[in-house]
Amino acid sequence: MIWPLLSAISISLILFYKLFPFIFSLALSGHFLFSAVSSRAFEISAHISMFWALLNTSLLILISSFLAWSLRKERKLLYFLIFIPWAIPVYLTTMIWRFAIYGLNGSSIISSLGLPSDIVSSPFAAFFWASVLSIWLDLPMVTLSILGAIDDIPSETIEAARLDGASEMEVFFDVTLPSIRSVLESWFLLYMVRYAHSFTIPFLLVDGGVTKLNWVTPFGAIGNVTTLGVLNYRIFKEYDINQILGFSSATYIFLGAMIAIWIFRNREIFQKVSLSIFSLLWFAISGDYFSIIAAVISLLPRKCIAVLSLFFLLISGFKSLPFYILLVIWAFSGEWRPARFGKASKLLKPIGALLISLLALGSVITLLSVLLVAFTDYPDTLNVTNMNFGSLRDVLVDGYGKNMLNSLILSVPVLILSPIFALPLAYSISRKGLDWMLQMFLVLRTVAGIHILSMIFVIYAKMNLINSLLPISAVVISNVVPQVVVFMKGYFDSTPRELEEAALLEGGKSAARKIVFTMATPQISVGALMGFMAGWNAFLAPLMFLFDDSLYPTSVKLYSYVGDLMNLYPHWNLFGAGAILNLAVALLVFVSIKLLTGVLK
């Protein structure tokens, strides 16, 4: 009785936080939805988001595949390289990198390496570093997943290719990538959508990027990294509820359309029609007449699409977005043909070495920066010779302990409830073959972002739940449960049913449940830790839903020390000291996970 009830609660929870706000918002936003869609701000931001998403996703998938392939036999080195970007929360790494890149008036660790560092006024530097950091932080997850997929390729296939005389690069491009194509496609979709509404890095690192004259709109100046996430946050901060709901609904629909196109990519008719509709929608948003041509081209046979898209992309000065999408869909929807690399094959090793060095450098810069800002006494100057522990004392005197306690209050319900909700749901999905449900949850989670949080804010405001920690825990639980379900489902898939059947015969349903529960104890513990980390590192929801300093968790407190890019007086030393304390907790949890994983083995 309890298990179905818990499953029902977790499904309701996910739907309540990921789908209901959109329906609620759509019903209330009315003509504000249309004014948002037709605004110049939305048009520019959607354009930037798509370009940003396409570029970052393509690079991320390519680099991750390459890294997984190059280091598949050097796993310890791989784990070492991806440890820092994996272990440190994104909001923290981003602020650390802001110091590393921009430092003091552009005089920084990065500028001392002769690299562009002026993220305040150089559009290239702003876009470049936001992109580099995004890819670097997402590498661990994608690389590990691709590594898993590569492990599944039969070694005979690769050996056969080598015997046929294929070079290392040809084996990578012609054997490995086509063999893991379905994994790459899934990640491609996930990250396309995630990047299109990404917020933390574009906002915290470059404050939406650098603007230009014709990007100034009545909704403020749009910078070259003002993704839909950043735009929605600005609207949330500055405008009334109608505008907030209008923009967030428009964003939800836009992202939903992206997913629809992708899902239908292998059903030719649906794909053509949805691409055509998307191009026309794009014309309505941007007034880009090339989109009409794209709408027509998308209906033509596949073999015409690539040539015509490239041609019109050239004519449009590489500015018409639908052609990029047509090319991507074209690339993913047909057969992948073998390529010939010849002497270029020799480049594989130097490229690999360069990538590994850059990854290692990224970790060194992160650690060096956080140590420098944490143990430097001056709030505004970097004085290496005068390092001390004064900042650690100052941050504790400033009441950081209370912020840690708030983080704990926020995390503990997530720690307890995530596995309780996830376990019965994962079990049902595994045993009843309800994979579609899991996919739906993951899609809903992927579409969610700042825009959903804006909608939840309006709902919470009506329910008088703003400025309180527990309602934020509920948001975090709705985020983390699908992840924990994926993790636990994998375990149940690999567990023989016979054990439960035997228990069922012996002692009925309760005995069978008891067996399942007992066997899944390590998974429950890891699920609880995943929940704890999600709660401890929660940043966006507390940032938007709390306004009382005494309720801030560590994440928002750390942000309040340094503020945004143009903040006149950031306290880097307090930030650094707080970050060190936060990392100590993260390390503790990592060690716990490591120990539990040991139990799993």
How far apart (Å, rounded) are the C-alpha atoms in residues 563 and 556? 10
Q: Give the angle 18-22-25 at the CA atoms, nearest 5°.
A: 140
Q: Is 124 in the site for other proteins (CB under 8 A)?
A: no
**What's the min distance (Å) between Cβ of 103 and other proteins?**
8
**What's the min distance (Å) between Cβ of 427 and other proteins?**
38
Residue 256-285 contact track with other proteins, rule CB under 8 A, x = bound: ------------------------------
Among 38, 145, 217, 592, binds other proteins (CB under 8 A): 217
Among 38, 186, 211, 525, binds other proteins (CB under 8 A): 211
Considering beta carbons, is residue 211 or 333 the nearer one to other proteins? 211
Q: Are 219 and 11 in contact (CB under 8 A)?
A: no
Residue 81-110 contact track with other proteins, rule CB under 8 A, x = bound: -----------------------xxxx---
Q: Is 548 in the site for other proteins (CB under 8 A)?
A: yes
Residue 363-392 contact track with other proteins, rule CB under 8 A, x = bound: ---------------xxxx-----------
Among 566, 594, 598, 601, binds other proteins (CB under 8 A): 566
**End-to-end Cα distance, the chain:** 32
Q: What is the largest CA-CA distance in the chain?
A: 76
Residue whose token pair is 């470059």: 206
Among 38, 525, 560, 592, binds other proteins (CB under 8 A): 560
Q: How many residues bind other proteins (CB under 8 A)?
A: 46
Closest of 193, 143, 214 to residue 356, by C-alpha: 143
Considering beta carbons, is residue 36 or 295 the nearer one to other proteins? 36
Among 165, 218, 350, 598, binds other proteins (CB under 8 A): 218
How far apart (Å, rounded) are the C-alpha atoms in residues 266 and 333? 6
Closest of 245, 253, 196 to residue 457, by C-alpha: 245
Considering beta carbons, is residue 380 or 501 the nearer one to other proteins? 380
| 421-450 burial: b if 16+ Cβ within 10 Å, else e | bbbbbbbbbbeeeeeebbebbbbbbbbbbb
Residue 404-423 contact track with other proteins, rule CB under 8 A, x = bound: --------------------
Q: At what angle do helices 390-397 and 400-432 cross, to 10 degrees?
A: 80
How far apart (Å, rounded) are the C-alpha atoms in residues 503 and 565? 60
How far apart (Å, rounded) are the C-alpha atoms in residues 453 and 115? 36
Among 124, 311, 318, 547, binds other proteins (CB under 8 A): 547
Q: Is 568 in the site for other proteins (CB under 8 A)?
A: yes
Q: What share of the chain is helix, strand, coil (3-state, %, to 5)?
A: 80, 0, 20
**What's the min distance (Å) between Cβ of 247 and other proteins?**
11
Q: Is 569 in the site for other proteins (CB under 8 A)?
A: yes
Closest of 278, 311, 306, 308 to residue 292, by C-alpha: 278
How far apart (Å, rounded) are the C-alpha atoms in residues 329 and 262? 8
Considering beta carbons, is residue 31 or 601 the nearer one to other proteins? 31
Segment near other proteins (CB under 8 A); pick from 294-302, 360-368, 569-577, 579-587: 569-577
Provide the token pair at 509: 């349903």
**What's the min distance (Å) between Cβ of 120 and other proteins?**
5
**What's the min distance (Å) between Cβ of 124 and other proteins?**
11
Residue 459-498 contact track with other proteins, rule CB under 8 A, x = bound: -xx--xxxxx------------------------------
Q: Is 30 in the site for other proteins (CB under 8 A)?
A: no
DSSP secondary structure string for all residues of 262-286:
HHGGGSHHHHHHHHHHHHHHHHHHH
- How many CA within 13 A on the CB side of residue 557? 27
Q: Is 550 in the site for other proteins (CB under 8 A)?
A: yes
DSSP secondary structure string for all residues of 542-596:
HHHH---GGG--HHHHHHHHH-STT-SS--HHHHHHHHHHHHHHHHHHHHHHHHH
Site for other proteins in 228-247 (CB under 8 A): 237, 239, 241, 243
How far apart (Å, rounded) are the C-alpha atoms in residues 549 and 564? 17
**214 phi and psi, to 5 degrees?**
-85, 10
Considering beta carbons, is residue 95 or 443 the nearer one to other proteins? 95
**What's the min distance (Å) between Cβ of 452 and other proteins?**
17
Q: Is 549 in the site for other proteins (CB under 8 A)?
A: yes
Site for other proteins in 431-460 (CB under 8 A): 460
**What's the min distance (Å) between Cβ of 328 and other proteins?**
31
Considering beta carbons, is residue 522 or 563 the nearer one to other proteins? 563
Contact footprint for other proteins (CB under 8 A): 104-107, 118, 120-121, 123, 210-213, 216-221, 237, 239, 241, 243, 378-381, 460-461, 464-468, 547-550, 560, 563, 565-570, 572
